[in-house]
Amino acid sequence: MNQAHIKKLALVIVFSALGTAISPFTWFYAFGTKAYPAQHMINAILGVFVGPLWAALAAIIIGVMRYMLGVGTIYAFPGGIPGGIVVGIIYWMLKYLKRSEKTALISALTEPIGTILIGAPLALFLIAPLIGPQGYSATLLDLTKNEGPILAFLTFGFWWALSCVPGSIIGFIVLLILNRVRINRETLFGEK
């Protein structure tokens, strides 16, 4: 492993611990559901700092830890992993197109694309039917059966947007603050 990989792994470990620790304390009620923006904030930050695969690794670690601690569900995986991947890919594309670091930070705001457009359908149409009519999955299965798949997706996507939109905005703000004090991907890893 080279020095950049060790730094990225260290960031993943630190942010995974941070995401696991703050998740139980950073939720709020909205429209009858609990919104957990911490994972999405971590996705936005790590997608920019370490890239899509490392951000996905952190989302997996946070999902496993939250699930083991009883403060998360199986839906943390499809809800967390795609968001970090999308942010990392969009950041890389913007940097490849020679955009400035500040412009590339906008990629943090794309986290909801991964969560809502990729994660929500995975959870709704793949994971919920596998789990069956238990708890949260029963609600999802009822949505699909009673409202139809498109309306169920829109409803479920709205629920997830309550978490991922504020989380990505907070992540974007954190990245702007860090960039202002010259902590960014370029200074951390010497990338151009």
Cα 53 versus chain centre, distance: 12
Strand partners, 28: 35
Structure tokens at 152: 């169920």
Structure tokens at 124: 């709704």
pLDDT at 191 over 80: no
Q: Look at the chain and report how many structural domains it folds into.
A: 1
Report the C-alpha gap between 154 and 64 in whole angstroms: 27
Domain that holds residue 12: 3-20+27-189
Q: What is the reported pLDDT for 124?
A: 83
Per residue in 98-141, pLDDT tens? 777 777 889 999 999 999 999 989 988 888 888 877 766 777 77
Q: What is the reported pLDDT for 136?
A: 66
Query: pTM for this structure?
Result: 0.91
Percent of the chain with pLDDT over 90: 55
- Helix, strand or coil for residue 33? strand
Per residue in 159-174, pLDDT tens? 899 999 999 999 999 9
Per residue in 32-75, pLDDT tens? 778 889 999 999 999 999 999 999 999 999 999 999 998 888 88
- The H-or-E segment that residue 110 falls in is none
Q: What is the CATH number of the domain that holds 72?
A: 1.10.1760.20
Q: What is the reported pLDDT for 105?
A: 86
